Each structure stands twice: as structure tokens, then as C-alpha cells.
Amino acid sequence: MAQPVAIITGAGRGIGRAIAVELARRGYQLVLTSRNEAELRETARLSQPGAMIAPADVADAQQLRDVAERALETFDRIDAVINNAGYAPVRSIETVNDVEWQSILDVNVSAAVRLAKAVWPTFRKQNSGVIVNISSKASDDPFTGLGLYGAAKAALNVLGLSLAREGKEIGVRVHTIAPGAVETAMFRTILTHEQYPTDKTFSPSDIAKVVADCVTGSPPQPSGEVIWMVKNHQPGAVEKIKKKLFGS
């Protein structure tokens, strides 16, 4: 049987890199994409030296289609897509501009729509496929300043449910994972270790294991349902965030 193939967006570091390591360990051939080729090569070195490196901006529809086409041409199959790329600028409704808002939508939601559309014919032909979307607890209860990011991730949650329903008849599963704070560079641009200790966060590998379980057919929740991953919040964390961001 041919080795299964997984496309991972945002694969250059953090959660994406951890997902690559875990899926490689479970026997998947990897297609790694992000904007930073050097980071992708490091991910490949750590996970699977023979992985396909496919630098691309997920906000660009044509670049995403090219990634899917290259993967299919190379491996003649696509078994899983992990929509991990994210963009979370800290903005209030008064400070966000149109370009930033469009980027929030493009990276967090539109990319998932476009990549699903690109691989759907292959999934239909194979009568199988898995999509895993990385959402956020912000989609349910955002920290102050992350409401716009949370709104985009809430849309991703609904997209996952919709795609799960569409995909059921052709053997496609869709899982959406919504973790709380994860120990990544992106999270640490928002809060320091003093403001939000590491023992209150998930590690990227924690998320990666759940992703891999979903991909390999052992998800903690049925297709379409959001998988919430939340640790107890530090008392007073929201107040500290408000003070840091807005001085109140």
C-alpha cells in the first residue's frame, strides 16, 4: 500500500512543526508549506528529510492550488490536510485596518476553504480523506484584543461542521481542534512567561498528538465536532492582558 500523504500549512515552526514530527512518526509522507523556506527545511530535517518543501503564502489562492497540484503530481494521492497556519494580531475594532482584517480572514478561514476545494476532487476519487483545522479557544472566549482573530476562528469551526456534512457521503472526515494557550512564538508575542506561566499552556506536541489521532482515525470527537482543549486559566489572566494591551 502506498504511503499516505499529508499537507501541513504553517509547518515552519511551532504546532505545525510538531504535527510534522508526529505524522512522520506515524508513517505519513509530508508536504510542508509556509512562507519561510528555511524554516520548512529545518522542519523536514527534524521530521522527515525526504519531505516535500512547498513554500507558499496561504493567503494567496493560486499558491495554495499550486501546493495541492504539486503534491498530487508527486505522490498521486492526498490523504490528509492540516490547516494550521494562523495570523493573530492584537487589535481592537478601533485600531484594526482593512488590510489586517482581510489578512486575518485570508489566513485563518479563506485558506482552509481554498485548500479544501483544491483537494476535494481527489478525496472524492479516493472515497476518503481527512481535514484537520486548528482553531482556538479564542473562537469561544477571546482575550481582549483577539476578538477579530476569534471571530475568524469561529468561522473556521462552522466551516469544519459544514465540510464534515458534505464529506460524509464520500468518506471524508473533518475535525476542528480548538486549544487554549499553546507555548508558541506567536503566543509569546502577546504574553510573557511571567504573565502566563508555561505550566498553564499546552506544548505544540500536545496538539500534534491529537491531530495525528484525528488523521489516523482515532479522534476524541466525531467528524464535524469541535475538539476543545483548555487548561485552567491563571486567575486574573484576562485582567493582566487588558492592562498590557490597553492600559486599563
Active-site residue list = 149
3 state SS of 175: strand
Is residue 21 within 8 A of residue 208, CB to CB? The reply is yes
Burial-class residue 178 by CB neighbours within 10 Å (0-12, 13-18, 19+): buried
| CA-derived radius of gyration, the chain | 17
> Vertex 44, ends 13 and 76: CA angle to 5°?
115
Cell triple for 18: 510538531
Is residue 103 within 8 A of residue 148, CB to CB? The reply is no
> Vertex 217, ends 215 and 200: CA angle to 5°?
60
Q: Outline where DSSP puts E strands in the chain.
A: 5-9, 29-33, 52-53, 80-83, 129-134, 172-179, 226-229
CA-based nearest residue to 18, from 32, 36, 4:
32
